[in-house]
Amino acid sequence: MGVLHRLQVPLVALLSYTAIAQKVIDLGTKQWTLSSPVYNISVPGRVPSQVHLDLFREGVIPDPYVGLGDFELRWVTLTNWTYETTLDGLDSTIPTWLLFNGLDTFTSIEVCGQHVASTNNQFRQYYFEISDILKSCSTTPDLSINFGSAVNITADIASEPGQEVWPPGQVFWPGGVEGVFEFPNRQFMRKEQSDFGWDWGPAFAPAGVWQPAYVVQLPGPAVHVRNTLLDIYRQGQLNNLPPDQNAPWIVNASIDVIGSLPSNAKLFIEIMDIKNVTVASGAMQNMTSIGSTITGSVVVDGETCQLWWPVGLGPQNLYYFKITVMNGNESLVSITKRSGFRTIVLNMTPISESQLAQGIAPGNNWHFEINGQEFYAKGSNFIPPDAFWPRVTETKMNQLFQSVVDGNQNMLRVWASGAYTPDFIYDIADEMGVLLWSEFEFGDALYPVGVEFLENVRQEAEYNVRRVNHHPSLALWAGGNELENLELRLAAALDPGNDRWRQEYEQLFLGVLLPTVFANSKSISYIPSSTTNGYLELNFSLAIPMIQRYDNATKGSIYGDTDHYDYNSLNAFDLSTYPVGRFANEFGFHSMPSLQSWQQVLSPEDLHFNSTTIVLRNHHYPAGGPLTDNFHSPLHGMGEMTLAAQRYYPVPNMADPVANFSAWCQTTQIFQADFYRSQITYYRRGSGKKERQLGSLYWQLEDIWQAPTWAGIEYDGRWKFLHYVAKDIYQPVIIASYLNTTDGDLTAYVTSDLWSPATGVATLTWYDYNGTILAPPSSVPFTVGALNITQVLQTNTKTIPYDLTKAVLKMNITATGSLPNTNDTKTFKHEFFFHALDLSKANLQDPGLQLEYNASTGNFTIEATKAVAAWVWMDIPAGTLANFDGNAFWLVPGEKREVGVVVKSDGSGGKWVEGVRVRSLWDNTQS
Ligand SMILES: *[C@@H]1O[C@H](CO)[C@@H](O)[C@H](O)[C@H]1NC(C)=O
Ligand SMILES: *[C@@H]1O[C@H](CO)[C@@H](O)[C@H](O)[C@H]1NC(C)=O
Ligand SMILES: *[C@@H]1O[C@H](CO)[C@@H](O)[C@H](O)[C@H]1NC(C)=O
Ligand SMILES: *[C@@H]1O[C@H](CO)[C@@H](O)[C@H](O)[C@H]1NC(C)=O
Ligand SMILES: *[C@@H]1O[C@H](CO)[C@@H](O)[C@H](O)[C@H]1NC(C)=O
Ligand SMILES: *[C@@H]1O[C@H](CO)[C@@H](O)[C@H](O)[C@H]1NC(C)=O
């Protein structure tokens, strides 16, 4: 009884639809003025927008991203700005509200000269009744929103007596570098933390109405839906624990309204497939109505609906859920959300006896399960795609997510110190099957724990947890970035024996955020910190159900996920320096963007490696710590990239200074890609080792601006070497070599993340760099198990009969297997080159590269006609956004490689094809 089955009588037929009219005015359609009395500026403004964007559009300031705008435009953020409009055409006898989905950040709001409210949280939704003000207003009412300077206001908050002092003693970041690249005191504001600067981004600290805003007029009993929670889970499911996959689904809907709900209000639900054909409908049960929130749930038979899967693991089935609020037989309002049926759990349960018996190290699991299945999470970290969110378009995000999917990634970690992701981005992720590990906006600091601050955070968390919970792409909630592994350890080192810091951390991350997730969602797991050793105990009968393990570890046991940075490039390919954990959620090294990106923001005289503007756009602190306030130290980011390039590759030596600069940018990208590949293959191989490693998310997917950063995709969407290499190494079945740099032990493994075994042959061929095959290739047949590895080579560089400066080993595999949730047999191919670590000593010679374009297929063909080509790169001219299906590869002579291309936007009318150039490492050393 009460279970919704397929094809009940559609609900629509039973309802009388007399939805009561509400009047909603989008404030984005109004004329706005943006002004600063101090600077005597008054220009047209927009909603949603931000001050910098409006000033730029109106010609008051240059493009903030050009040159040193990051420093030169600081005056904009150190002053107050007012956005003003006229609220004409309102009937002042009707109850009226202002509704803001996002104000950035410190505001004072007035209507008709009367104070309405002040706000201080970028991430909250605010709504204020203004009926009385409208009634008493004798003129056409004005709405004015005054934005204070976040930099000044946080400085004031920081100096309040008794305010939180972090880090203890303020010894870690005393002005120094932070004073140049970042504004201090970000932990005192609920605003995008990276707005004050980050090591990969600028510090613009923008202000404005950054999300849509409305006037809502509600005659009679009308209500306006301001937020909707939809939680779909298996009956009996508890957060963080794998549910029974045979249990029916529960669909819980909870609607937040403006206006008053009638006491007998009820909810009805209609579930439709993607073609809007009703698959189930009925009255919701277990209704509760508390304040302006009404909640109900229904049981849905598992047969009724098809599962949603991440890309590569099955189809992305989506359904519409129409929820109607009924007053008796009258429909008050209805809302439709698109969602899907799936369970996603971060399984952190203790390693079981049967897992131990399979050779898995003791400790805890730390991996994701989709619909009850373990899978390998492949992806990267997503940061704010722009310092100014209002100019992040759907087109740009569609292109970016297409690159994610084309790059064989199935998960992104949405990093914790940007902004909660807008729904349109989750919608794209739902459609494309990209899981979004989502985080609350706290990172690399400890935060105040005053009553007001915590209540402000609770409201922010509640709004956002409810807003996004229906997206099947939502994979996890994490409290914040690098807290347990970094900030708590820092606290323990700086203030030994003082328990205060951990207690305060628990107050916020276990006492406020965890209960907000658990009270609103049973379908999503929660962890307090992105990198964590997990829980000692999860017990839902405790007031706070999670007791953290922290560093209470038993030797030999493995508990959590890992975060790894090592800027000493000497260690880059020493596998023993990589962490052994269950999941790698962050790792990386920075590189230069391409010449084409630099040309967007630099004047021609700045197009050299260490130009002042480039050095000042590199915000990676000197490795000596932020106190080493010396940007010309070889330990600064520019020096680290230079050293790494010199250490492992022949460095560019081209006569044309701009071409040489471009080649240098590329060499830093080659090191970056090489280093990430080494780590990704190592982590993926861990799926078959004792650590049962099941995830690799590198730092970072994309750029916020044009600068030297850890990104694999540049600000305008252009792929660096890294994104191509990650695409290659994130294929389901790969081969890779593993060198022990200490004793010369050399192995190769095939790694597969398919859910069934694959069989094939590995072919290993030694080549002289001149292209001669040195010995008959050896063939090794293999079977690799589901989510497992198999070894195909065991040797030692000391016993290899070749001099590695003269010889290179090409390994390739062809395997057959099936993708998850399909029965079709598919062929998987992959190749990998083992070579001397230091390619500047290898006998690279002119590969005689030839490039052809075939207009009828739209494909390019590349051939090395003379010798082995290392790091072949096809470069796309500025003005065209396109990516090849492969790039940044090696070629042996006699092999032709045909490469397809996806054009995302083209300003050249197709002429770009003629501007494509192909080069290899060797070509960059020729003047
Ligand atoms: C903010 O502080 C700066 C100095 O730090 C000052 O010049 C500026 O006038 C202040 N702005 C406001 C709005 O108080
Ligand atoms: C600046 O804006 C803040 C927030 O709206 C307000 O509290 C403050 O009074 C304003 N200061 C000036 C000088 O307008
Ligand atoms: C189904 O309905 C939704 C709105 O509820 C609409 O956006 C969508 O275009 C419709 N799809 C089809 C296939 O008609
Ligand atoms: C309603 O509540 C009862 C008692 O808690 C529970 O057994 C039942 O499953 C609930 N029904 C739905 C549809 O959630
Ligand atoms: C450390 O962990 C063990 C269980 O693994 C637990 O019994 C013990 O109480 C913990 N110690 C502390 C100080 O939390
Ligand atoms: C850039 O400057 C750093 C710091 O002075 C230096 O170590 C490095 O060698 C320079 N790089 C190049 C390519 O000139």
Instruction: Give pLDDT tens digits for 292-327.
Output: 999 999 999 998 899 999 999 999 999 999 999 999
User: How far lies 186's CA from each of 207, 210, 447, 733, in Å?
Assistant: 15, 19, 9, 44
How many A from CA of 5 to the centre of ligand 4? 17
Rounded CA separation 79/40 (Å): 12
Pocket of ligand 3 contains residue 336 by CB under 6 Å:
yes
User: Residue 179: what pLDDT?
Assistant: 56
Pocket of ligand 6 contains residue 634 by CB under 6 Å:
yes
Pocket of ligand 3 contains residue 276 by CB under 6 Å:
yes
Pocket of ligand 3 contains residue 822 by CB under 6 Å:
no
Does the structure show a pLDDT above 70 at 201? yes
User: Residue 11: what pLDDT?
Assistant: 42
Enumerate the H helices of 411-497 as residue ranges.
Answer: 423-432, 451-468, 488-494
**Confidence category of residue 3, pLDDT binned at 50, 70, 90:** low
Rounded CA separation 306/407 (Å): 26
H or E, element range at 728 = helix 721-729
How many A from CA of 593 to the centre of ligand 6? 16
Ligand 4 atom showing the smallest separation from residue 286 Cα? 1
Rounded CA separation 209/98 (Å): 13
H or E, element range at 778 = strand 778-784
Answer yes or no: are the C-beta atoms of 84 and 113 closer than 8 Å. Answer: no
Mean pLDDT of the chain: 94
Q: How are the residues of the chain apportioned to helix, strand and coil, as percentages rounded to the nearest 5?
A: 25, 30, 45
Rounded CA separation 642/592 (Å): 10
Enumerate the H helices of 584-624 as residue ranges.
Answer: 595-601, 612-617
Residue type (1 letter), 918: V
Ligand 6 atom showing the smallest separation from residue 643 Cα? 9
Pocket of ligand 6 contains residue 611 by CB under 6 Å:
no
Q: What are the start-end ranges of the E strands in 539-580?
A: 546-548, 561-564
Q: What is the pLDDT of residues 325-355, one digit of tens each?
A: 999 889 999 999 999 999 999 999 999 999 9
How many A from CA of 444 to the centre of ligand 2? 29
Does the structure show a pLDDT above 70 at 791? yes
For ligand 3, atom 5, the nearest C-alpha belongs to 336
Dihedral, CA atoms, 674, 675, 678, 684, nearest 10 degrees? -110
Pocket of ligand 5 contains residue 547 by CB under 6 Å:
no
What percent of the chain shows pLDDT beyond 90? 91
Question: Looking at the CA of 641, which ligand is closest?
Answer: 6
- Return the DSSP state at 709: B
Helices 657-685 + 721-729 axis angle, to 10: 20
Does the structure show a pLDDT above 60 at 154? yes
How many A from CA of 29 to the centre of ligand 4? 45
How many A from CA of 339 to the centre of ligand 4? 22
Q: What is the pLDDT of residues 648-688, one digit of tens each?
A: 999 999 999 999 999 999 999 999 999 999 999 999 999 99
User: Residue 4: what pLDDT?
Assistant: 64
Nearest to 154, CA basis, from 128, 187, 107, 130: 187
User: Residue 15: what pLDDT?
Assistant: 44
pTM of the full predicted structure?
Answer: 0.97
| Ligand 4, CB within 6 Å, residue ranges | 250, 285-286, 297-299
Ligand 2 atom showing the smallest separation from residue 38 Cα? 13
Answer yes or no: are the C-beta atoms of 437 and 413 closer than 8 Å. Answer: yes
Residues acting as catalytic residues: 482
Q: What is the pLDDT of residues 587-622, one digit of tens each?
A: 999 999 999 999 999 999 999 999 999 999 999 865
Ligand 4 pocket test, candidate residues 1, 284, 286, 523, most atoms within 8 A of CB: 286
Rounded CA separation 756/773 (Å): 35
Q: Can you say whether residue 219 is alpha, beta or left, with left for phi > 0 and alpha for psi between -120 and 50 degrees?
A: beta
For ligand 5, atom 6, the nearest C-alpha belongs to 536
How many A from CA of 75 to the centre of ligand 1? 9
Question: Looking at the CA of 147, which ligand is closest?
Answer: 2
Ligand 3 pocket test, candidate residues 276, 337, 338, most atoms within 8 A of CB: 276
For ligand 4, atom 4, the nearest C-alpha belongs to 286
**Confidence category of residue 416, pLDDT binned at 50, 70, 90:** very high
Does the structure show a pLDDT above 80 at 28? yes
Mean pLDDT (whole number) for 454-459:
98
Pocket of ligand 1 contains residue 78 by CB under 6 Å:
yes
- Cα 595–Cα 598–Cα 604 angle in degrees, nearest 5: 90
Does the structure show a pLDDT above 60 at 173? no
For ligand 6, atom 10, the nearest C-alpha belongs to 639
The total of other beta-carbon atoms located within 10 Å of residue 318's CB is 17
Pocket of ligand 6 contains residue 363 by CB under 6 Å:
no
**Confidence category of residue 381, pLDDT binned at 50, 70, 90:** very high
Is omega for the bond preceding 373 within 30 degrees of 0, making it cis?
Answer: no
Answer yes or no: are the C-beta atoms of 842 and 769 closer than 8 Å. Answer: yes
- Cα 58–Cα 62–Cα 63 angle in degrees, nearest 5: 100
Rounded CA separation 344/927 (Å): 55
Answer yes or no: are the C-beta atoms of 804 and 795 closer than 8 Å. Answer: no
The total of other beta-carbon atoms located within 10 Å of residue 873's CB is 23
For ligand 1, atom 10, the nearest C-alpha belongs to 78
User: Residue 631: what pLDDT?
Assistant: 54
Does the structure show a pLDDT above 60 at 16? no
Pocket of ligand 3 contains residue 93 by CB under 6 Å:
no
Ligand 5 pocket test, candidate residues 552, 554, 557, most atoms within 8 A of CB: 552
**Which residues have a Cβ under 8 Å from the Cβ of 819 and sit 6 or more positions away?**
312, 313, 732, 754, 826
User: Residue 167: what pLDDT?
Assistant: 67
How many A from CA of 550 to the centre of ligand 5? 10
How many A from CA of 183 to the centre of ligand 1? 13
**Confidence category of residue 165, pLDDT binned at 50, 70, 90:** confident
User: Residue 168: what pLDDT?
Assistant: 62
Does the structure show a pLDDT above 60 at 632? no
What are the backbone angles phi and psi of residue 231, rounded to the nearest 5°? -125, 120
- 307: which 2 tokens? 């599962």
Instruction: Count CA within 13 A, CB hemisphere, residue 615.
Output: 15
Cα of 345 vs its chain's centroid, Å: 18
How many A from CA of 269 to the centre of ligand 5? 47
Nearest to 688, CA basis, from 338, 374, 372: 374
Question: Looking at the CA of 120, which ligand is closest?
Answer: 2
Nearest to 412, CA basis, from 365, 476, 341: 476
Ligand 1 atom showing the smallest separation from residue 149 Cα? 13
* Domains annotated on the chain, with CATH: 17-21+218-339 (2.60.40.10), 23-215 (2.60.120.260), 344-375+410-559 (3.20.20.80), 562-716 (3.20.20.80), 731-843 (2.60.40.10), 849-925 (2.60.40.10)
Does the structure show a pLDDT above 80 at 291? yes
User: Residue 21: what pLDDT?
Assistant: 80
Dihedral, CA atoms, 505, 507, 508, 513, nearest 10 degrees? 130
Rounded CA separation 59/55 (Å): 6
Pocket of ligand 1 contains residue 146 by CB under 6 Å:
no
Ligand 3 atom showing the smallest separation from residue 322 Cα? 5
User: Residue 246: what pLDDT?
Assistant: 97
Residues in the chain: 927
What percent of the chain shows pLDDT beyond 70? 95
For ligand 2, atom 13, the nearest C-alpha belongs to 80
| Ligand 2, CB within 6 Å, residue ranges | 80, 106-108, 146-148
Pocket of ligand 3 contains residue 320 by CB under 6 Å:
yes
H or E, element range at 704 = none
Instruction: Count CA within 13 A, CB hemisphere, residue 291.
Output: 5
For ligand 3, atom 1, the nearest C-alpha belongs to 276
Does the structure show a pLDDT above 50 at 763? yes
Pocket of ligand 5 contains residue 552 by CB under 6 Å:
yes
Pocket of ligand 6 contains residue 609 by CB under 6 Å:
yes
